[in-house]
Structure 1
Amino acid sequence: MVPDEMDAWVVERPGPIEDGPLRLVRLPVPSPGPGEVLVEVEVCAVCRTDLHLAEGDLPPRRPRTVPGHEAVGRVIAHGPGVNGGPEVGARVGVAWLRTTCGTCRYCRRGAENLCPASTYTGWDADGGYARYLVAPADYVYPLPEDQDPRTLAPLLCAGIIGYRALLRAELPEGGRLGIYGFGASAHLTAQVAIAQGATVHVLTRSKEAQRLALELGAASAAGAYDSPPEPLDSAILFAPVGDLVPVCLEALDRGGTLAIAGIHLTDVPRLDYQRHLFQERQVRSVTANTRADGRGFLEFAARHPLHVETVAYPFEEADRALADLAADRVNGVAVLVMS
């Protein structure tokens, strides 16, 4: 039986996390519309994008939005017109990309992440910081029944966007990859790169994150502003710190590529062409992901099981989870667990 109301966290008033922008409220349980499924949420991972939304770095697109776009749950109802989608009772993942138009030139060429009409879970529509959510059936991912949902949830954004960032970084086979920042997405991306035969150097300010990087197989781990022990073929910047862009570029070998993975980045300092860009070094941004990225990553993760470092929080403590994330007190991925 589906109740009439549910507990949910909303962004009441965007602002500094210490001012409490999130509020736990009662909302009506949503009804699935045409082509949608109703999902009872088991867990939802906590992403830095949720923090950007709560603090206003990512301007809210609607009042009192329910954040969360790494939700794992069970389909409990279909809306009209769901044909061939996930069956009732199936475990699915609800991720960041919610809809695209399917007809623009970007969608037609396979770049639906650039669709001007794209919408996003936990930004344009209510997300997984709630007991229930609705999502388009064509945009949810089937997930294994035999795995802990707490280790599946981080794959839906941290894993997928890291996978796309790795593709955008154009790492050559057997190449040398620098990873700047080592949180939720980075610790999964490092494992993918290592499984593909890369040498990975991690540069991050956290000593605990440096320790985890070495445990996961990184060749070295040092401070965020340190130089790696060898020139890099590619680098991925996960930390939302624009000051690190020239640092990353200086670490690149000739022809190297820097991919910037965050949806938000502080201002980038002035670049020196000779030091930072000459010799065909390049900078590339990463904008959301396509469903093909999601399927490709989840298939890779099924073949190469990843160690997912998680910290569980009761659903009722979502505000504490975001505060810990803001203060870099989460070593791995914070995951909200429904009681």
Structure 2
Amino acid sequence: MVARPGPVATRPLERTRLPDPEPGPGELLVRVEACAVCRTDLHLAEGDLPPRRPRTVPGHEVVGRVEALGPDAQGPPPGSRVGVAWLRSTCGVCRYCLRGAENLCPMSTYTGWDADGGYARRLTAPAAYVYPLPEDEPAEELAPLLCAGIIGYRALLRADLPPGGRLGIYGFGASAHLTAQIAIAEGATVHVMTRSAAARELARRLGAASAGGSADPPPEPLDAAILFAPVGDLVPVALEALDRGGTLAVAGIHLTDIPVLNYRRHLFQERTLRSVTANTRADGREFLRLAAEHRPRVTTTPYAFEEADRALSDLAADRVEGAAVLLMS
């Protein structure tokens, strides 16, 4: 759990023994097989993302097995494999929910932020918000799909990439390496800009047309771009790389301050800057369908459950290739 938010070097996570959770009305009790480590977990641990409750157990990319159903739960039976993701609940009746934008619901709650998440042996989740998962895929490879994959797909939608278009990706971690593969499989040309030499090599192996430094100009104007790195200084860099009418989507829940933009250099010619806020369940279902169709290569760095602190430290220091994943023994 996050005992005292602070720099990852201060070890803000604390291992403790908690009673097994009890599923409430409409909920499932899930035994965790694997939980991927998201940069949002790092933001929560370090205090960039203000905690919503004290001593919260983080983790929202969970692969597990249903152990029990709570009262009135309509969900998969015990033994079923399910995924638990970031979006935990919405009100279902506000104007955002009613128009299909449940990710903007003011009453939305989130796994590992409003309720204990997957850095644990067990967790509860509303049955209506879990995803059925295949039985024959390794849990280590499925876990990153549940946030890195889903939110990357949401960012791709927000970027308005035209068919066969040129996509720039800034930062190349867990989410970016999955998004790039889906875009390439759908016919896009992908250019990657990232500070990590190892990530640039991974991008080339996965089919990127080019891979350069984080502030380097791409070899051609971009129709769309996604900023995965939580670095506000890269916003004007990415906007300037866009062709006329291009769109930049900022995928993170946290971003450092954006420098002053120059209207003519960065926004004129109908360039668009957009944020990405969570995802809808429809996004999740469609991404998982695309992942089953295109079967992206999921690159992971595994850690034992007891090594969550080290996983966060490695993520903060860019020592993780692909996605860090906690494996339950």
Instruction: Give the counterpart letter for 1:65 in structure 2.
Output: T
For residue 87 of structure 1, report the CA deviation from its aligned partner.
Answer: 1.1
For residue 86 of structure 1, report the CA deviation from its aligned partner.
Answer: 1.0
Which residue of structure 2 lines up, in the alignment, with residue 338 of structure 1?
328
3-state SS in 2 of match to 1:27: coil
Instruction: Give the counterpart letter for 2:28 in structure 1.
Output: V
Cα offsets for 1:200-232 (capped at 9, x unmatched): 000001000000000000000000000000000
3-state SS in 2 of match to 1:336: strand
Instruction: Give the counterpart letter for 2:225 in structure 1.
Output: A
3-state SS in 1 of match to 2:22: coil
Pick aligned residue for 2:33 from 21, 38, 42: 42
Pick aligned residue for 1:52 from 14, 32, 43: 43
In structure 1, C-alpha distance between the alignment counterparts of 2:222 and 2:327, rounded to whole Å: 39
What is the root-mean-square deviation in Å for CA atoms of aligned residues? 0.4
3-state SS in 1 of match to 2:150: helix
Correspondence list, 1:262-277, <5 A: 262-277=252-267
In structure 1, C-alpha distance between the alignment counterparts of 2:121 and 2:214, rounded to whole Å: 38
Correspondence list, 1:184-263, <5 A: 184-263=174-253
Q: Is the counterpart of residue 15 in structure 1 residue 20 in structure 2? A: no
For residue 82 of structure 1, report the CA deviation from its aligned partner.
Answer: 1.2
Cα offsets for 1:271-311 (capped at 9, x unmatched): 00000000000000000000000000001111110100001
Which residue of structure 1 lines up, in the alignment, with residue 18 of structure 2?
27
In structure 2, C-alpha distance between the alignment counterparts of 1:86 and 1:153, rounded to whole Å: 18
Q: Is the counterpart of residue 314 in structure 1 residue 304 in structure 2? A: yes
Q: Is the counterpart of residue 138 in structure 1 residue 135 in structure 2? A: no
Uncovered stretches (5+) of structure 1, i.e. residues with no partner:
1-9
In structure 2, C-alpha distance between the alignment counterparts of 1:251 and 1:189, rounded to whole Å: 19
3-state SS in 2 of match to 1:155: helix
Q: Is the counterpart of residue 299 in structure 1 residue 289 in structure 2? A: yes
Q: How many residues align?
A: 329
For residue 270 of structure 1, report the CA deviation from its aligned partner.
Answer: 0.1
Which residue of structure 1 lines up, in the alignment, with residue 319 of structure 2?
329
For residue 25 of structure 1, report the CA deviation from its aligned partner.
Answer: 0.3
Pick aligned residue for 2:158 from 142, 149, 168: 168
Q: Which runs of 4+ in 1 moved over 3 A?
A: none
3-state SS in 1 of match to 2:302: strand
In structure 1, C-alpha distance between the alignment counterparts of 2:290 and 2:323, rounded to whole Å: 20
Instruction: Give the counterpart letter for 1:316 in structure 2.
Output: E
Which residue of structure 2 lines up, in the alignment, with residue 94 of structure 1?
84
Which residue of structure 1 lines up, in the alignment, with residue 144 of structure 2?
154
In structure 2, C-alpha distance between the alignment counterparts of 1:203 and 1:157, rounded to whole Å: 21
3-state SS in 2 of match to 1:283: strand
Cα offsets for 1:42-77 (capped at 9, x unmatched): 000000000000000000000000000001000000
Q: Is the counterpart of residue 108 in structure 1 residue 98 in structure 2? A: yes
Q: TM-score, normalised by structure 2?
A: 1.00
For residue 141 of structure 1, report the CA deviation from its aligned partner.
Answer: 0.3
Uncovered stretches (5+) of structure 2, i.e. residues with no partner:
none
